[in-house]
Amino acid sequence: MTTTSTDVLAGHTPLPGTEDWEPAPRLRAGMLADAVAMSRRDGLAPGVLDLAMRHGAGHPAGPFAVIGDLPAARRELLAGAGDVATTDGDATPDDGDAWAGPVGVLGTGLMASGIVEVIARSGRAVTVLGRSADSLDGLRARIRKSTDRAVAKGRLDPDGAAAIHDRIRTTVDDTDLAGAEVVVEAVAEELAVKQALVARLDAALPAAVPLATNTSSYRVADVCAPVVSGRPTLALHFFNPAPAMKLLEIALPAGADRALAGTAAAWGRDLGKVVVEAADRRGFIVNRLLIPYLNDAARAVAAGADPAAVDTLMTAEAGHPMGPLALIDLIGLDVTAAALASMAEAEADPRLVPAGPLTDLIGRGRLGRKSGAGFHEYA
């Protein structure tokens, strides 16, 4: 077997036919093959996938750029005889007329707080619907902490921070979202919870108001199945932390008016985001490529690999900003396993079955950084 100085994967091979590859290319081979399959299945240009993975996962090069640099035999294994050329940003949505008015956001957690801050920073008014005054106070406190940090670092002046907070209104009354130009659902990633709240909003909002979901694990068609008013629905998937992460994935359900993608793209770019359009499939682009790759790394641990060595391999040799096991710890082992399970409901792929070490650690209460331990130990 051809390897680098040490084969830290202990013979683990996520993709058949790559047994003689060096460890770092071998570990990401499954992700590269997934990118080729996604591009062909969903009609997504290679450059869109490269753009998404650079801005959504922080990878220094997207999957097609990586494939293009491989020897011919390896390109053939991953992509067959197909073209693997990449044009950055190719086939991203054309801009329409952006939503310029007030925005409604449903949710008060970490993700919702980031989305609210991003929208308020763009100059738009935001009305946030929460379960209680306490949860809404928590959202305001998180946003204040974020803007205070930006002021301390010189990235925002005090007047600008004050203006951001002045644009944010909070409420526990569904009807207070009726004046919004678009409403974004950003509650917990539990399908039944999302669907119940979507049904409530569909009854409370004028039928012309588009309803967007920030889901990362489900289709728009899944989350918005309770909509009976005929209102426009879509995904506006921000990445955490929303004020810092540049990517916004948008997705339309089957049969949606294509003009909605242009409006959403223009709005996202007004917020300062890099926008890509994904097919309405679970995981969209980034999570569908990233999460199984993280699971491949967890399966390497099952085969005997050392977690620290795996993470060092992928940061040092692939240039990833964080090793895959450290990233699982950051996301949460339970959240990663749930994302895999959601994707597995829609696709029969053995790489989507949560790796043994993942489920074992969850069973021991080691959920990652939030619990103080996962694949690694934290203070």
Residues that are catalytic: 216, 237, 249, 287
Q: Residue 128 corresponds to which tokens in the numbers above?
A: 């946030």
End-to-end CA distance of the chain: 39
CA–CA distances in Å: residue 159 to residues 119, 121, 242, 249, 330: 17, 12, 22, 31, 33
Q: Are 180 and 127 in contact (CB under 8 A)?
A: yes
Q: Name residue 333's amino acid.
A: L
Say which residues have a Cβ less than 8 Å from residue 57's Cβ, sequence separation at least 6.
286, 289, 290, 320
Supply the DSSP string of 111-127, one letter for each residue: HHHHHHHHHHHTT--EE
The count of C-alpha atoms lying within 13 angstroms of the C-alpha of 178, restricted to the half-sphere facing its C-beta, is: 8
**Which of these, 252, 290, 351, 309, lies nearest to 6 by C-alpha position?**
309
Q: Please tell me whether residue 56 adopts helix, strand or coil conformation.
A: helix
